[in-house]
């Protein structure tokens, strides 16, 4: 089935807006079945201004992991997409994504990084399995990000580190329609201020070490920890 026919089938359910179970199910179905965006390809081949953004994003995340990532223990890239950040993590680091196409691409590109098909809101991992979790450019696509954060907290070991990035509440995101490669059919895209990210981390039971604007105020990066006790 073509992407266009899938998109027609996944049109917004009549009468159901954000906050309803129907809207949440429709959003999840989009990322499972329709999305075909390749972040690695967009970063490695200059396709427009978004390519520069992805290149800067992966450099930023590499630096954050080098500074804050746990030296020992297993690493998870939750919502790994096609492997933009996962490819820079240590061998054996695990990538999780809800899209089967993404998982197939990661398995081919990164044979030393296990790729797991799964839902970030119900991850197929044991409690306290990871010392570090990356979650970048993911939470903004979830109508209920608190569910994902609860799962991240569950799979993090005590004292474990969450390294995250979300779009900042900035006018530039209103121009996403000008992108030549970025999908224009996404059903949900949220933006955050720093204080909102800090509040979200606190509500999820994390201790925030750092939260600030980055990438020219386009994004908010955050470093948070699961309490040791």
Question: Which of 94-103, 145-154, 162-171 is predicted with the least confidence, judged by mean pLDDT?
Answer: 162-171
The confidence score (pLDDT) of residue 178 equals 53
pLDDT bucket at 13, cuts 50 / 70 / 90? low
Residue 30 within a domain: no
Supply the CATH number for residue 221's domain: 3.40.50.150
In a domain, 78, yes or no: yes
Asked if the structure places residue 85 within a domain, the reply is yes
| Residue 119: strand, helix, or coil | strand
Does residue 128 lie within any of the structural domains?
Answer: yes
Q: Classify residue 211: in a domain, yes or no.
A: yes
| Domain housing 113 | 37-225
pLDDT for residue 3 is more than 50? no
Q: How many domains does the chain have?
A: 1
In whole angstroms, what is the distance from residue 152 CA to residue 173 CA?
A: 27
| Mean confidence (pLDDT) of the chain | 87
> Which tokens belong to 53?
């953004």
Q: What is the pLDDT of residues 87-138, one digit of tens each?
A: 999 999 999 999 999 999 999 999 999 999 999 999 999 999 999 999 999 9
In a domain, residue 6? The reply is no
Decide if 26 is inside a domain: no
* Spatial distance between the Cα atoms of 220 and 13, rounded to a whole number of angstroms: 31
């Amino acid at each position: 089935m073509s992407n266009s026919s899938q998109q027609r089938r996944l049109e917004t359910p009549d009468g159901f807006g954000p906050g309803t179970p129907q809207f949440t199910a429709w959003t999840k179905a989009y990322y499972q079945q329709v999305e075909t965006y390749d972040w690695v390809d967009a970063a490695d081949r200059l396709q427009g201004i978004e390519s520069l953004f992805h290149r800067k994003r992966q450099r930023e995340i590499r630096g954050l992991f080098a500074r804050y990532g746990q030296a020992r223990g297993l690493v998870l890239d939750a919502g790994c997409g096609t492997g933009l950040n996962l490819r820079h993590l240590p061998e054996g680091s695990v990538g999780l994504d809800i899209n089967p196409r993404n998982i197939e691409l990661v398995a081919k590109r990164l044979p030393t990084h296990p790729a797991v098909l799964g839902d970030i809101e119900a991850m197929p991992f044991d409690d306290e399995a990871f010392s570090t979790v990356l979650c970048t450019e993911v939470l903004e696509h979830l109508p209920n990000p608190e569910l994902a954060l609860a799962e991240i907290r569950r799979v993090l070991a005590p004292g474990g580190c969450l390294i995250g990035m979300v779009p900042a509440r900035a006018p530039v995101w209103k121009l996403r329609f000008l992108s030549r490669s970025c999908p224009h059919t996404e059903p949900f895209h949220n933006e955050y201020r720093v204080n909102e990210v800090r509040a979200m981390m606190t509500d999820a039971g994390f201790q925030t070490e750092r939260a600030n604007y980055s990438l020219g105020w386009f994004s908010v990066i955050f470093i948070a920890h699961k309490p040791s006790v």
